[in-house]
Structure 1
Amino acid sequence: MPMLLPADTPYHRITREIPWWRTLLTLFAVLIGAQFAMLPAVLVSARVAPEGLPILGGFTALALSFVAVGCVLPVALLIVRRGEGRSVGTLSSVTGRLRWGWLCFCAFLAVASVIGAVVGSAVVLTFLSVTGSAPPPSGGGSSAGLEGLGGRLTVLPILLCLILGQAAAEEYVSRGIVLQAVGRFTRSAWPAIAVQALVFTALHGIGDSWAPSACSAWASPSAGSRCVPAGWKPPSPSTSSTTPPSRSRP
């Protein structure tokens, strides 16, 4: 049964018609359930040989960290569905579903940015190598056991597939569940955005508990600088009085 909401309900206020105690219990259940969801991947990571898995080599710990965080996503969505009795699509947008057109547009911009960064880095490194200013290559690194470009290209598709689940889990928990749980108590979205930013930054600062190899010394400040603008949702136009509304945007 869909939730009945006013037509102009903003994204951060979607849970305001749900009893406040159910929202808080659901939030705590998600945070606790996340720890158990990551446990299998963490245990596997602890038993892997130092040289890593045959295909992943030195990237094994990084890949398993992505798997650990990605396992949180189905658990979190199930808890929201059962705990608050609402469609998990309301975590994606105020339309109650994932907006594929907007997702594809953002994905296009992201891929274009990454390609531009890679090409730019290649140009700079080429220039430095030609001018003799490039630093000497280091002997170690995260690519141990996978020497050369071929090994990296083999691992890259695997990591790209795994990071999709990892990124989705972080976004749905921080910018979805946490933001909406706090936003139900505030008219303005900014307090909810600030809280989810702190949670997002704290999770990345934990390191071994959240994503062992993905989080480094610079993770917390860099994550904090990204999560405030990422938590903001543009205002939505008026729509019908049911959720999922038909044309409203988060």
Structure 2
Amino acid sequence: MPNPLCAERLPYHRLALASARHRWWRPLAGTLFIVGGWLLALILLASAADSWGTRQGYPKDHDGFVVFGPVTGTALDLLYVVLAIPLVLLAVRWIGRRPVGTASSVTGRLRGRWLGLCLLVALPVFAAVNAATLLLPADDTPAPGWAGWHVFLPALAMLLILVPLQAAAEEYVFRGWLTQAIGGFFPSPWIAVVPQAVLFAAAHGWGTPWGFADLVVFGLAAGWLTVRTGGLEAAIGLHVINNLIAFGLGAAVVDGLKTDETAADAPWQWVAVDIVAIAAYVAVVLWFAARRCHPLARTATVPAPLSTTPLPPRYVAPMQSPAPVLPSPHAAPAAPACPGRSR
């Protein structure tokens, strides 16, 4: 049982150890639960969608699958990914035996203001990236035309609802569960960050070596931000804005949402610009994190376990007066209060 008088500080990637009931097998069992539960939920949702589409008279492709159209089909693809969020939270609570909020940050919750700031930082950075890609040399493929407001607006409404959930789901799986599962075995943050970045890139398929490298860099940057800022907010902000702009541009052109291409298929010119944008986002977010008036929590304080050394028979602890707590001569001065902010 935990000792309330003793405590230790754990960074985000080590929060699997925050539970007094942590055992080495819990991260492995939780990973199997998430993968198996997601595959089962995927099959059930896909079967239900296929049955409904057949009854509604939607056409089928040469493999016998219902073709819902670009907007509905994209919505289903995003929903398949969103299914992972409740599975991760259940694995944290039921198998990890710790509060579900520890999957979000070291504070035990998703920090809304910090997430909003990260979204505001990512928006101009990735808008500039996509504008810069228009200046890259184009191939001989004719540019697609404007899809029209009657196509774009319904698609945009769907994307604004589902893309943030889809991006958050991938963050909770890779930068959340996997990072903390590996961090339960190894104290080094890089050992926890690198494997999830490679798995994240592999989950998007193999297109070009440049596209795969870009996804690895994205995963490394998001993972490092998660550890440095103590939560998923910076990674979610990066992922949400990146995907919203990419999907939004696809919805704006004719048949843009029909394409099967992902970031894994990106050419080297686009990857070079994207890596610069990722680096700029990381630098700005860390700058804001270091200069916040109220410091951003990077570790969680958790009770340390009691000593298991048995006491001698009939042992009585001597009465001792508590030692005075003296200020350290090297202690940093207290930070000034922020004007206009409640403490």
Common fold by TM > 0.5: yes
Is residue 189 of structure 1 aligned with residue 189 of structure 2?
Answer: yes
Deviations 1:39-77 (A, max 9, x none): 234332695535954xxx423322211011111211221
Is residue 8 of structure 1 aligned with residue 12 of structure 2?
Answer: no
Please show how residues 129-168 of structure 1 align to structure 2 within 5 Å.
Answer: 136-138=142-144, 147-168=147-168
Q: CA deviation at 1:151?
A: 0.9
Is residue 231 of structure 1 aligned with residue 223 of structure 2?
Answer: yes
CA gap 1:229/1:2 in 2 versus in 1, 3 angstroms: farther
Distance 2:25 2:300 in 1: 28
Matching residue of 1:49: 59
Q: Aligned match of 2:30 in 20, 26, 30?
A: 26
Name the TM-score, length of structure 2 as normaliser: 0.54
CA gap 1:175/1:239 in 2 versus in 1, 3 angstroms: closer
Matching residue of 1:111: 123
Pairwise CA RMSD of aligned residues?
A: 3.6
Counterpart AA for 2:30: T
Q: CA deviation at 1:103?
A: 0.6
Q: Aligned match of 2:90 in 78, 86, 94?
A: 78
Contact 2:11-2:299 at 8 Å conserved across structures: no
Matching residue of 1:209: none
Deviations 1:112-154 (A, max 9, x none): 3344456x369869xx9xxxx9964459xxx9xxx42431222
| Same amino acid, percent of matched pairs | 34
Deviations 1:17-36 (A, max 9, x none): 51111221112111211211
Mind listing any 5+ residue stretches in structure 2 that lack a counterpart? 61-65, 230-296, 305-343
CA gap 1:219/1:72 in 2 versus in 1, 3 angstroms: farther
Matching residue of 1:222: 214
Contact 1:52-1:59 at 8 Å conserved across structures: no
Contact 1:37-1:71 at 8 Å conserved across structures: yes
CA gap 1:123/1:178 in 2 versus in 1, 3 angstroms: closer
Higher strand share: 2
Higher helix share: 1
Counterpart AA for 1:193: V
Deviations 1:68-124 (A, max 9, x none): 111121122123211122111101111111111111111112233344456x36986
Contact 1:205-1:219 at 8 Å conserved across structures: no
Distance 1:167 1:204 in 2: 13
Contact 2:103-2:176 at 8 Å conserved across structures: yes
Number of residue pairs aligned between Structure 1 and Structure 2:
218
Distance 1:115 1:3 in 2: 50
Q: CA deviation at 1:197?
A: 1.1
Deviations 1:173-196 (A, max 9, x none): 111111111111111011111111
Name the TM-score, length of structure 1 as normaliser: 0.72
Counterpart AA for 1:19: R
Q: Aligned match of 2:43 in 39, 43, 47?
A: 39
Distance 1:77 1:200 in 2: 19
Distance 1:45 1:169 in 2: 23
CA gap 1:33/1:117 in 2 versus in 1, 3 angstroms: same
